[in-house]
């Protein structure tokens, strides 16, 4: 299987965020709540403990206790690592699958009878970035809220998967949000005709105005495989999409930002096939890309997290896609999904500026809140690319933290709920539509979705 350059060593880089890690189980600062139990209520709880069962039970109990009403659903992230020696003799961090098996029983001990989904991920909550040995949970309740959890096994027919999710959630009254979690296989299959966009198209058939949000979990071993772990009810799975539909009197406002700077030049895709772009403005795509970026003609495209393009989706926004592969013989660039002929794009520059990463997180949350106008925010959901966390650890200070340094200041109040994760590929709205879709699979992007009381 093709190795994913740029993703090796994620654990070592993110440990640089140690100043954000924390959370002592059972203390009042380990949960935050918002909303009216008579209508729609949300609460976030977290716990850091080397005992995964204790962490799971305490995080879920914290969230459920803070909710103040019967829960209708619960979503959680967990990450419990171990250190192994790699073939190169260096230490590497990988998930401890034996510990993971104990998380869900702990969560369910607190959330008896509550629909549950979850995945393996580093959490982003009001207490900061939760790197290791932590469970973070979002409890959803309120008399007028409805939640339902479904699962679908991954298959090449991504459209059928999406439609199965939509069909499974069609009985959720006033469905507003589909919260979906999967693994890198969902998006990085290299087979022609297999595209994550088809899954999105199918999910959005659930209803007009429905928003798809979520992303992929951490893989079993960074740079080696694409598989991961998903949880639903009492099951620990792999190779699935798990999703929770949330319906009721809530309004959804979304935004996406990144830390890159678009080129002043705009170019047009003039030759493309499936996931490959062969020409930009009638010239070989790799040649045009290197020229605009200021690279040498023979300079390698060394890492898919260093070389993005921006698909123009509005006068102020580009939708970021990474160059995954170069075909030097056919002079093409491969992307995660099709970039059709006629698409206007910009070449994006940067990626090594920690302050730009922090600034884009704050900007994203502020823009989402601005879209909400005077509506009262109930919870801010985040799907933040893991590569942003890697670069923050690599280029920033050990204490840099997107939550504490950017997100909470942008919210202006620590009482606003934050529930997010470092995703290995993000799902969320774009300022589109693009290809007829308003939600897309995104890369190296900060996706923020604010759920508010319906006006």
What are the tens digits of pLDDT across the range 366-386? 999 999 988 889 999 999 999
Q: What is the pLDDT of residue 261?
A: 95
Tokens of 79: 């990450």
Q: Are residues 324 and 304 in the same domain?
A: yes
One domain for residues 295 and 345: yes
Do residues 24 and 142 both lie within one domain? yes
Task: Output the average pLDDT for the chain.
Answer: 90
Q: How far is CA 173 from CA 33, 145, 149, 203, 342, in A?
A: 24, 9, 14, 16, 39
Residue ending a domain, choose from 325, 349, 373: 349
DSSP bridge partners of 68: none
How many domains does one find in the chain? 2
Is the same domain home to 193 and 323? no
Owning domain of residue 292 = 261-349
Residue 109 lies in a domain: yes
CA distance 54 to 47: 8
285: domain CATH number is 2.40.10
Position 150 in a domain: yes
For residues 426 and 447, state if they share a domain.
yes
Q: Which residue, of 311, 327, 349, is where some domain finishes?
A: 349
- Asked whether residue 2 is assigned to any structural domain, the reply reads no
Same domain, 244 and 318: no
Do 277 and 128 share a domain, yes or no?
A: no
Same domain, 247 and 285: no
Shared domain for 299 and 395, answered yes or no, is: no
pLDDT of residue 8: 34
Measured between alpha carbons, how far is 82 from 393 in angstroms, rounded to an integer? Answer: 19
> Do residues 114 and 167 share a domain?
yes
Point out the residues of the chain with pLDDT beneath 70. Answer: 1-29, 413-414
Q: d(Cα 36, Cα 261) in Å, to the nearest integer?
A: 41
Residue 5 counted as domain residue: no
Q: Residue 414 has what pLDDT?
A: 59
What confidence score (pLDDT) does residue 107 get? 98
Domain end residue (candidates: 291, 325, 349): 349
């Amino acid at each position: 299987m093709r190795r994913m350059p740029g993703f090796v060593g994620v654990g070592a880089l993110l440990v640089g965020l140690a100043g954000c890690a924390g959370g002592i189980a059972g203390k009042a600062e380990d949960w935050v709540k918002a909303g009216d139990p008579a209508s729609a209520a949300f609460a976030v709880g977290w716990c850091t403990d080397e005992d995964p069962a204790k962490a799971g039970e305490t995080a879920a109990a914290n969230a459920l206790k803070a909710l103040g009403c019967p829960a209708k659903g619960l979503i959680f992230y967990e990450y419990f690592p171990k250190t192994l020696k790699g073939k190169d003799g260096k230490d590497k961090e990988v998930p401890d699958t034996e510990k993971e098996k104990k998380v869900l029983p702990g969560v369910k001990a607190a959330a008896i009878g509550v629909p549950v989904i979850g995945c393996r991920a580093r959490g982003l909550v009001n207490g900061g970035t939760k790197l290791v040995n932590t469970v973070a949970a979002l409890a959803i309740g309120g008399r007028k809220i409805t939640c339902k959890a479904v699962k679908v096994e991954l298959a090449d027919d991504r459209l059928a998967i999406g439609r199965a999710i939509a069909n499974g959630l069609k009985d959720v009254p006033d469905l507003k949000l589909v919260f979906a979690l999967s693994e890198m296989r969902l998006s990085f299959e290299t087979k022609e005709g297999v595209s994550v966009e088809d899954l999105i198209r199918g999910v959005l058939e659930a209803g007009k105005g429905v928003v798809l949000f979520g992303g992929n979990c951490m893989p079993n071993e960074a740079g080696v495989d694409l598989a991961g772990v998903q949880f639903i009810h009492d099951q620990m799975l792999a190779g699935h999409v798990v999703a929770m539909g949330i319906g009721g009197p809530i309004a959804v406002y979304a935004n996406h930002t990144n830390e890159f700077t678009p080129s002043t030049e705009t170019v047009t895709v003039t030759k493309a096939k499936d996931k490959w772009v062969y020409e930009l403005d009638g010239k070989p795509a790799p040649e045009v890309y290197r020229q605009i970026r200021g690279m040498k003609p023979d300079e390698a495209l060394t890492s898919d997290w260093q070389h993005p393009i921006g698909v123009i989706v509005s006068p102020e926004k580009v939708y970021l896609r990474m160059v995954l592969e170069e075909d030097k013989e056919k002079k093409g660039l491969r992307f995660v999904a099709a970039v059709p002929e006629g698409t206007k794009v910009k070449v994006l520059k940067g990626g090594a500026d920690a302050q730009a990463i922090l600034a884009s997180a704050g900007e994203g949350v502020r823009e989402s809140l601005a879209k909400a106008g005077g509506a009262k925010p109930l919870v801010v959901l985040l799907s933040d690319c893991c590569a942003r966390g890697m670069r923050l650890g690599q280029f920033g200070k050990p204490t840099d933290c997107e939550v504490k340094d950017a997100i909470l200041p942008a919210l202006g109040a620590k009482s606003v709920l934050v529930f997010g994760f470092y995703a290995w590929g993000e799902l969320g709205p774009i300022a589109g539509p693009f290809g007829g879709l308003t939600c897309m699979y995104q890369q190296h992007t900060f996706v923020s979705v604010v759920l508010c009381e319906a006006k």
